[in-house]
Chains A and B, each alone.
Chain A
């Protein structure tokens, strides 16, 4: 995955966040959104027990106790609070997190995601992905549009294991933004100089560009 693709995705996904929201950023590309918040004030929740996560610490601020869900060192901001894991997931499952941004392995045409298990590999980690998917008020999937082997991550039906029945609202990739509804999937924005026809050919489908 090229770095530029990751940053295109993160920058576009950050536009979906709004002042005052409680936001949980998954591991990987989602953590890059913090670089594109500009002047927006959002409150970052990390499921290991903090609301009000701040930027990475300087060397003299390092504290082994204080980490995010990706086990990276972090800081906390004025107004932050700490809580235990049961309370953290009550916040998540109970609908008190406005937006979750999750990295994905696959997204189906109706918005079902797979992001925790790769076929033919031991499946020994799920973390908070399934709780975030069913609990957050809005779920945005992010990721490069194609896997390392070149196959599209947007697929008619999942071939990887599902993270849950709840559908995501958006899939933001380096090529385009896909929106899911009861009517199916549509492209709402193209993010680079590819044409709609070229994009459809790469994906092997026929999608419309619908500007909202």
Chain B
């Protein structure tokens, strides 16, 4: 099966109202090429699961500006000023989760686990309405697993089968998201032949990856620029 697709094929993989997992912490490890293309589509009503909503006009920020996002599930949206304002006006629904809870919920979603109990957020506003359980004398709250209709992730290198390696802190949420999407699209800097990646260095096995797309971006200093 050929997993390689072109930018023009991206938008046909989505539908209105999809719940989409989007990799990245800040802009590091964000599938910018896929998001650029998706922001030009007519699709709308997306629920986004991502640590934040892009930054500096890049990444998910473009989908937000295009009015395609109705709900965001993540841990840190304070830097996205326009998102904060939209939330204040009631135009954007937000589910705030502690960062570790977000990561574990996605890990569970991809691993066939329905949810988990954590001590994180016990006694805080973010525990409101969540089931409590005492385990070995300590209070925990239940957090449900998270999954997506589509996961869009960023890796450094893919082989043509879809095995992936990552680069430094651009790994972040991407490996878990690769396991938790019904459709998984991996944007990568480099595509190599099968056998070229050392099996010991592969972080995401190809079983999780449906589509591979070559990134349009290069790094320059602290920026990601279109080639």
Contact = CB atoms under 8 A, between A and B. Distances in A.
Interface of A: 46-50, 59, 62-68, 71, 73, 76, 82-86, 88-90, 92-93, 117, 122-131, 134-135, 161-166
B6 interface: no
B46 interface: no
Interface centre among A68, A86, A129 (most CB of B within 10 A): A86
Main secondary structure on chain A at its contact with chain B? loop
Nearest to B105: A86
Given A89-B103, A130-B124, A49 B98 contact: no
B27 interface: yes
Contact of B174 (A64, A84, A88, A165): A84
A83 B27 contact: no
Contacts of B223: 64
B123 A125 contact: no
A-B pairs, top 9 by smallest CB distance, nearest first, are: A89-B100, A125-B78, A131-B100, A165-B123, A65-B170, A85-B103, A124-B77, A86-B107, A86-B103
Interface residues of B, number: 57
B169 A50 contact: yes
9 contacts: A64-B28, A65-B28, A65-B219, A84-B103, A84-B173, A123-B125, A126-B75, A127-B76, A130-B120
A48 B100 CA distance: 10
Contacts, number: 157
Contact of B118 (A73, A86, A93): A93
Interface in B97-141: 97-104, 106-107, 118-126, 139
Contacts of A88: 100, 103
A137 to B, nearest CB: 14
A100 to B, nearest CB: 12
Interface stretch (B13-21, B34-42, B82-90): B82-90
Contact of A127 (B27, B99, B107, B171): B99
Interface in B157-201: 166-176
Interface of B: 25-29, 51, 55, 75-80, 83-84, 87-88, 94, 96-104, 106-107, 118-126, 139, 166-176, 203, 219-224
Given A125-B79, A131-B98, A131-B99, 11 more contacts: A59-B221, A63-B219, A64-B221, A71-B28, A71-B55, A93-B100, A122-B78, A125-B76, A125-B77, A164-B121, A164-B122
B173 to A, nearest CB: 5
Contacts of B84: 122, 124
A64 B98 contact: no
Given A127-B99, A164-B122, A64 B27 contact: yes
Given A47-B99, A64-B222, A124-B84, A162 B124 contact: yes
A85 B125 CA distance: 23
A122 B79 CA distance: 12
A134 B120 contact: yes
A109 B171 CA distance: 40
Contact of B119 (A47, A93, A162): A93
Contacts of B168: 50, 63, 65-66, 76, 82
Contacts of B176: 84-86
A86 B99 contact: no
Contacts of A117: 125
B34 to A, nearest CB: 17
